[in-house]
Amino acid sequence: MDNEVKIEIDVDDSKLRELNFTPHGISRFNEGLSVIAEKLIEKSVAYANIENERDVTEKHVRQAIAVTTVSLIQPKKPAWLTFCQIGEYVCTGIVGAGASNLDKSIGIFAFGLGIAIAVVLFTFRIVKSN
């Protein structure tokens, strides 16, 4: 972003101390609010630019809030889950090649091994992603 905006937000420390925040917790809380505010500004401006509008409207801010809050709630998908899914696709191809050659011992081996590995990868991916 060309015009990077740094926001600093401080919440009333006494309110946070009443809620049993430690001094370090208060500091991290304020830093987190600043980061979220900066992301919100960046995304709001981006939505306005997408629509070729000069002003950032309430609509753009609402869109930015929706995207920002979803990204805070949903953790990022680990890269290894993607590799598991790619492995499933490769194994599916191996199963198909093996099924085409079931009259040969290598075809039976590829078919069985492909199914076994694909099922293990699929189960692992589903269990770990939930």
Domain-wise residue ranges, the chain: 13-73, 79-129
- Looking at residue 3, its pLDDT comes to 60
- What's the DSSP call for residue 98? H
Show Cβ contacts of residue 36 under 8 Å, excluding neighbours closer than 6 positions: 68, 72
- Looking at residue 8, its pLDDT comes to 72
Do residues 117 and 109 touch, judged by C-beta distance below 8 A? no
The helix (H) or strand (E) run that includes residue 65 is helix 58-73
- What's the DSSP call for residue 37? H
The list of the chain residues with pLDDT below 70 reads: 1-4, 10, 74, 130
13-73: which CATH number, 3.10.590, 2.60.40, 3.40.50, 1.10.20?
Answer: 1.10.20
Please tell me the distance from the alpha carbon of residue 61 to that of residue 118, in angstroms, as a whole number: 44
- Looking at residue 1, its pLDDT comes to 45
Please state the φ and ψ torsions of residue 30, each to the nearest 5 degrees. -65, -40
Please tell me the distance from the alpha carbon of residue 34 to that of residue 44, in angstroms, as a whole number: 15
- Looking at residue 2, its pLDDT comes to 53
